[in-house]
Structure 1
Amino acid sequence: MRKSISAAAVALGGSLALAALVVPTPATASPADGACFSLGVAGRYGEFIEGDDTHSPDAEGAVAVGGNADFSQAGFSVGQELTADEVEELPGGYSLVVGGDIKGPVHVQKGKGVYAGRNLGGAMDGVTKGASPIDFAAEFAKLRATSSALAKTAGNAPVADGRTLTFTGTDARTNVFTVSAETLQKAGDVQLKVPAGSSTIINVTGGTYDQRSARTSGFLLWDEASKSYVLDDKNSTAAKGQIRAKLLWNFPTATTITKHSGNAWPGSILAPNAAFDLGTGGPVNGSVWAKSLTGSGGAETHHYPFEGCLPGTVVPPTTPTTTPSGSPSTGTGGSESPSPSGSASTPGGTASPGPSGSAGPTESAPAGATPSPSASHAGSGGGGGGLAFTGAEGLVPLTLGGAAVLAAGGALVYKARRKKAAAS
């Protein structure tokens, strides 16, 4: 009887240890721990447009257009400021992707270009006909889910003083603000004061935003070194570009956005439902993700990719199980399960509140955004830690660990039996 109890105890201990290895424990990584979410494929492009794009004369970064592209007004050049590494990270190395018809002339300076529809005329330098390497419908579903999730984050309000609107944040990692489009478009000057290196998300509510309403002419960023607000542009920016690089303007419900041609707009702009009019002058110093886009003259996009951290806490996906053949599954044929909100879940799951002391998300992590294990120009601002495993890659070390536990248990049972036999 004693031998049976010992064997049972060993078997139970081995089973519990194996269970502890196979069942993932909730990860608690947050922005404070280095967990960030990127915008995936879309984050690698300076202009990422779901529908049509009518634009000239250039975009310094990569351009992806799901609909038709008309570059005929003054020609169009693409990718001048891309690095070799950035080109390599683009799908197929395509710095210009057009899912519909294209009208040139167009010149691809770095990388290569592809269009899936018709060539409506004009020189095509570096551009060939072929299938689009991007599923725009899928990518924009992710962007809309991300934009909606970010909009639910509690944010601070700016302070209005006459025609000047000032956003002030003190958190060293993440600062979140919420403002109505009506309030924002009344400003002549927009000022932002946050610590250099922190990620800043400005959620703008409302369906229409028009900078021409009050002729918004200045976006100024606080520069700690000079103790002053500095106009953002190529040759004039605060904190050596650290602030604009991690600044995201989020327009979750806007259907039209119009930029005043008299300013340079710092930061990247997420407006997945909006027709975006860049005007006829003044650049966006960052990326633009929009439903459609128009712009001409000096209204170009400068290559300052978003490098901020989209905050959120990673939680594990559905507990993996093992099929009879021994291959891991998630209980749904290996596919990701939907998040509680009904939106597509991230590969790492959904997110809960951000770090204490900062205005992190209060709902789920940006749905559809991709957990990023390392910083990159595509929008991951920090290293990943505590990400729950998915699939066979994560299951292999757990299986080996479980086998080792069971082997150790078996050895203990065998040793107990030998000792009993010798005693008798």
Structure 2
Amino acid sequence: MRIFTSAAALAVGGSLALAGLIAPAAQAVGAVGADQECRSLGVANLYGEFIEGDDTHTPDAEGAVAVGGNANFTGGFSVGQELTAAEVDALPGKNALVVAGKITGNNTQVMKGNGIYGSKADGAVVQAHAGAVSQGASPIDFEAEFAKLRSAAAELAAVPQTAGATVQADGPKLAFTGGDAKYNSFTVDAVTLQGAKEIYLKVPAGAVTVVNVTGGAYDMAAAGTTDFHLWDEEKSAFVLDDKLRSAAGGAIRAKLLWNFPSATKVVKNSAAAWAGTVLAPNAAFDLGSGGPVNGSVIAASLTGKGSAETHHYPFTGCLPGTTVPTPTGTPTVPPVTPSGSPTAPVTPSATTGPSGTPGVPGTGKPSTSASASPGPSSSRSSAAPAAPSASAGPSAPSSTGDSLAHTGSGPVLPLAIGGGVALAAGGGIVLAARRRAARKA
């Protein structure tokens, strides 16, 4: 019985002593965490299109849409088909469609969630399939949100290029290579970026990547940029990003942000599928007439037609130094459905005509992107530039947030030492208990 009592006392004593060591450590981590608060793009993070002014667009947006000005959806428009229930719940008022001004169009369909608009043009029709549509004041303060977004864009642009990261042009190809496991910042001028026909990005899966583009305007159609290739570590190859395939199951593009802090105009090539989220808070954004953005668009205004869409791949990265807090219910990375043949060329999707669901534009169709591929995919893979090994650069600044993976083993040795101290302390408690028992006897 004394053996069990001693063992119990040793366990309790050790636990108390170990708790005394762990508690201060936890407080210290909490203090660091306060400085490393994970910051996102605020309310804009919840929307596939977050537009300060007017949005003129057909045929659909897979995610939620918020428009601070007027929305012209003439020709038919569907919203929110790919939203999850949790993502709908996280939206202000569960509104997958917010139009602060006037909405125009005789066939606007809100597939999931609610819709709200300031006013309606004569003959405008707005219907909700799993919610309600109403007229009223916008639940979003667009002026305040865009003030924060402009500040965030400027702060992100001020982050120096990550040590060891490179931006290298090789003929029609432009390669971004970074090896930091947490945060990779690149800086490139708009002229260099728009001169590339193919873009390659090699960073570790799970790392946040911000490409800061300098200059007042960017036109992807200038040189005919068509392909975005992302490095897949498991495949040891670049993967042409598309709706049905992406590197690391979509994990790379989910944390990829293209930042245009000073651009007033951004044009997407209609033959390209743009991988990642675009932050251009001062720009008129032209989606073109074909090919999607596989991410969100945050801009001063937006135009798009034909088969130009925004696909629901929201930004999930943790950003440094921005002033926009993370909203609750931030979307997670949707899985990428295998395309069957990862090297098969991708052809433009026809999305302008009627769909399989009567009255619902842009739904009931194959949702492949319009990535124009010059020649077989196999030849493009062999032409991929040799990117440096992803091992360059020290860890990102601590302000990137403690939600990013810890890459060191710092706590292991202190914990081992603490365990030894805990056991010794427990033994001391047991010895003291025995001496008291002997004196009583």
Tell me the distance in 1 between the aligned counterparts of 2:323 and 2:191. 32
RMSD (Å) for aligned C-alpha atoms:
2.5
Give the structure 1 partner of residue 68 of structure 2: 66
Q: The residue matched to 1:281 in structure 2 has which SS? A: coil
Asked if 1:171 corresponds to 2:180, the answer is yes
Tell me the distance in 1 between the aligned counterparts of 2:183 and 2:33. 15
Encode CA deviations 1:327-377: one digit per residue, 9 max, x unaligned.
Answer: xxxxxxxxxxxxxxxxx96679xxxxxxx923549xxx79xxxx9x9x7xx
The alpha-carbon distance between structure 1 residues 347 and 230, as it changes in their structure 2 partners (threshold 3 A), is closer
Encode CA deviations 1:76-129: one digit per residue, 9 max, x unaligned.
Answer: 000000000100010001000001000122000000111013334332112321
Asked if 1:259 corresponds to 2:244, the answer is no
Asked if 1:41 corresponds to 2:43, the answer is yes
50, 56, 59: which one pairs with 1:57? Answer: 59
The alpha-carbon distance between structure 1 residues 109 and 347, as it changes in their structure 2 partners (threshold 3 A), is closer
Q: Say if 2:39 and 2:324, in contact at 8 Å, map to a contact too.
A: no
Could you tell me which amino acid in structure 2 is paired with residue 181 of structure 1? Answer: A
Residue correspondences, number: 305
282, 285, 300: which one pairs with 2:291? Answer: 282
Give the structure 2 partner of residue 136 of structure 1: 142
Could you tell me which amino acid in structure 2 is paired with residue 110 of structure 1? Answer: K
Give the structure 2 partner of residue 203 of structure 1: 212
5+ residue gaps, structure 2: 1-27, 327-392, 407-441
Give the structure 2 partner of residue 102 of structure 1: 103
Could you tell me which amino acid in structure 1 is paired with residue 279 of structure 2? Answer: L
Deviation at 1:66, TM superposition (A): 0.2
Q: Say if 1:36 and 1:382, in contact at 8 Å, map to a contact too.
A: no
Asked if 1:150 corresponds to 2:156, the answer is yes
Give the structure 1 partner of residue 115 of structure 2: 113
Tell me the distance in 1 between the aligned counterparts of 2:64 and 2:115. 10
Within 5 A, what are the aligned runs for 1:3-18? Answer: none
Q: Say if 1:278 and 1:299, in contact at 8 Å, map to a contact too.
A: yes
Deviation at 1:233, TM superposition (A): 0.6
Tell me the distance in 1 between the aligned counterparts of 2:313 and 2:29. 38
Encode CA deviations 1:210-248: one digit per residue, 9 max, x unaligned.
Answer: 011100011100111221111101112111100000000
Give the structure 2 partner of residue 358 of structure 1: 395
124, 127, 148: which one pairs with 1:125? Answer: 127
Give the structure 2 partner of residue 271 of structure 1: 280
Within 5 A, what are the aligned runs for 1:73-84? Answer: 74-84=75-85
Q: Say if 2:217 and 2:265, in contact at 8 Å, map to a contact too.
A: yes
Q: Say if 2:39 and 2:323, in contact at 8 Å, map to a contact too.
A: no
Tell me the distance in 2 between the aligned counterparts of 1:136 and 1:382. 33
The alpha-carbon distance between structure 1 residues 120 and 255, as it changes in their structure 2 partners (threshold 3 A), is farther
Q: Structure 1 stretch 268-277 or stretch 120-129: which is displaced more? A: 120-129
Deviation at 1:27, TM superposition (A): 3.8
Could you tell me which amino acid in structure 2 is paired with residue 29 of structure 1? Answer: G
Tell me the distance in 2 between the aligned counterparts of 1:26 and 1:236. 38
Q: The residue matched to 1:213 in structure 2 has which SS? A: coil
Q: Say if 1:154 and 1:359, in contact at 8 Å, map to a contact too.
A: no
Q: Say if 1:100 and 1:117, in contact at 8 Å, map to a contact too.
A: yes
Give the structure 1 partner of residue 171 of structure 2: 162
Tell me the distance in 1 between the aligned counterparts of 2:285 and 2:205. 28
5+ residue gaps, structure 1: 1-23, 313-343, 349-355, 376-380, 384-424
Q: The residue matched to 1:28 in structure 2 has which SS? A: helix
Encode CA deviations 1:174-214: one digit per residue, 9 max, x unaligned.
Answer: 11100000100000000000011111010000001001110
Q: Say if 2:41 and 2:325, in contact at 8 Å, map to a contact too.
A: no
Give the structure 1 partner of residue 309 of structure 2: 300
Percent identical = 59
Tell me the distance in 1 between the aligned counterparts of 2:288 and 2:309. 9
Give the TM-score normalised by the residue count of structure 1: 0.68
- Flag as ranges the 4+ runs of structure 1 deviating above 6 A: none
The alpha-carbon distance between structure 1 residues 345 and 231, as it changes in their structure 2 partners (threshold 3 A), is closer
Give the structure 2 partner of residue 325 of structure 1: none
Give the structure 2 partner of residue 87 of structure 1: 88
Q: The residue matched to 2:97 in structure 1 has which SS? A: strand
Give the structure 1 partner of residue 385 of structure 2: none
The alpha-carbon distance between structure 1 residues 239 and 148, as it changes in their structure 2 partners (threshold 3 A), is same
Q: Say if 2:295 and 2:312, in contact at 8 Å, map to a contact too.
A: yes
